[in-house]
Structure 1
Amino acid sequence: MRNLLQFIRGSRDSHRAEPPSLIIIGLGNPGPEYAGTRHNAGFWCIDALAKKHDITLERRHRSAVIGEGDIESSRVVLVKPRTFVNRSGAAVSYLRARYAVPSESLLVVCDDINLQPGKLRLRSRGSAGGHNGIKSVIEAAGSQEFPRLRIGVGRPPEGTGQIEHVIGPMEPEDRKVVDEAVERAADAVACLLSEGIDETMSRFN
């Protein structure tokens, strides 16, 4: 019996030790006051993925809420940082240490004011492009070599500041368009895992 228990525990430890195929980090601000704001589009994508693939976000670290599961037969980790967007790198530092993955195994999902509402843009690497959350991730990862999936939320109207725009309430028609884009973003993640990044960019960009 003891040998059997040791075998079972060893198998579980071995499974946990295998690095995930992809760690998907949705950027957003914690707290109910930000739940419906544009800056939380990354959080919404994580919620959509969790629902579609029956993954529960139940593990809580001081820097992130985490769920582990499978998408397209690949082991993944879903993550919502518990910091504000511009400090998202704190979660990345923890995740890379915990799972021992290279930066290429991170996928960051975030809002983008430079894309029209509802548009998606997947890239395999690149600069922060003015997004402070991506900038924080680059600093923590020490690299720009990680994929990122941007969800368009549109530019602020004249007379509205950028910060006010991304953390302000959305008009119902804009929210509907962005919600539809979030669902497509979740589909893009599944495609990325099954078909690779080039095919995914061709289908969803």
Structure 2
Amino acid sequence: MKLVVGLGNPGPKYEQTRHNIGFLTVDRLAERLGVAITREKWRGLAAETSVRGQTILLFKPLTYMNRSGEAVAEVVRFFQCEADEVLVIYDDLDLPFGTMKLRMKGGHGGHNGVRSVIDHLSSQTFKRIRMGIGRPEDGDVVNYVLSPFHPQEREHLSEFIDRGASAARDYLETGDFSRVMNVYNQKQR
């Protein structure tokens, strides 16, 4: 079984904000897999499907970003899966908008949602798709991540989300995250 988690904040107020690019990307992946992430369970929204005979759970924690790990840990305990079977998709201030970086494991890089996942899984070995949103010019990170994308970003947002969903789907279809990392990390250069 594989668990794909998109990080974000629940509710219409946050729907189209930078911090919710993880939600937006996992929703796009769900569309491509022919499911909707609507089942309320484990303090989040879930959809179960299969890819090449393997069970896949798509998940959006509803605990708010800074407590995402609480809900993710509930799912991991329920399915008794290992941290390395978890893929987390989230926004990253350290990457320019439209840049994506896939990683096998690592620290939280200052991202409170990822910090919460690490803390509650007691592991850094989950896979990641970091979706670049860039940094604010004025240094006000909180307002920046909780604000909508600029019009010029919105012109390219759908394509960017498509790339993130494609990377996740390629991983689910091949099971080879190293190869998928090589392909998608190379495309940015």
TM-score range, shorter chain: over 0.9
- Which AA in structure 1 matches 2:4? I
1:92 is displaced (CA, Å) by 1.2
CA contact (8 A) 2:89 2:131 kept: yes
TM-score (norm 1): 0.86
Aligned counterpart, 1:48? 28
Helix, strand or coil at the partner of 1:121: strand
Q: CA RMSD in A?
A: 1.3
1:104-143 superposed matches below 5 A: 104-143=84-123
Deviates more, 1:58-67 or 1:182-191: 58-67
Detail structure 1 runs of 4+ shifted over 6 Å in the superposition. none
2:64 to 74, 77, 84: 84
Which residue of structure 1 aligns with residue 177 of structure 2?
197
List gaps (5 residues or longer) in structure 1. 1-19
Number of the residue aligned with 2:7 = 27
2: CA distance, partners of 1:105 / 1:66:
16
Change (3 A) 1:60 1:200: same
**Residue identity opposite 2:129 in structure 1:** L
**Which of 171, 175, 179 is 2:154 aligned to?**
175
Q: CA deviation at 1:165?
A: 0.5
**Highest CA radius of gyration, 1 or 2?**
1
**Runs of 5+ unmatched residues, structure 2:** none
Residue identity (%): 36
AA aligned to 2:135 is R
Could you report, residue by residue, the CA deviation over 1:137-173 in whole angstroms, capped at 9, with x for unpaired residues?
Answer: 000100101111110111111x240011000122121
Q: Distance in 1 between matches of 2:165 and 2:53?
A: 15
Partners of 2:64 and 2:177 in 1: CA distance: 28
Q: Which residue of 1 aligns with 2:141?
A: 162
Which residue matches 1:61? 41
How far has the Cα of 1:73 moved from its partner? 4.3
Q: Which amino acid aligns with 1:117?
A: F
1:158-195: CA deviation from partner (whole Å, max 9, x where unpaired): x2400110001221211232321111111101111233
- TM-score when normalising by structure 2: 0.93
**Superposition deviation, residue 31 in structure 1:** 0.8
Indicate conservation of the 8 Å contact 2:94/2:132, yes or no. Answer: yes
**SS of structure 2 residue aligned to 1:122:** strand
Please give the alpha-carbon distance, in whole angstroms, between the structure 2 residues aligned to 1:201 and 1:65.
Answer: 27
Q: CA deviation at 1:59?
A: 1.8
Whether contact under 8 Å (1:72, 1:190) holds in the other structure is: no
Distance between the aligned counterparts of 1:144 and 1:37, measured in 2? 26
Report the counterpart of residue 130 of structure 2 in structure 1. 150
Do 1:152 and 1:178's aligned partners in 2 also have CA atoms closer than 8 Å? Answer: no
**Which of 71, 74, 92 is 1:94 aligned to?**
74
Residue identity in the other structure for 2:173: S
My pick for the range that moved more, 37-46 or 91-100, is 91-100
Q: Partner amino acid for 2:151?
A: P
Contact map agreement 2:42 2:74 (CA 8 A) in 1: no
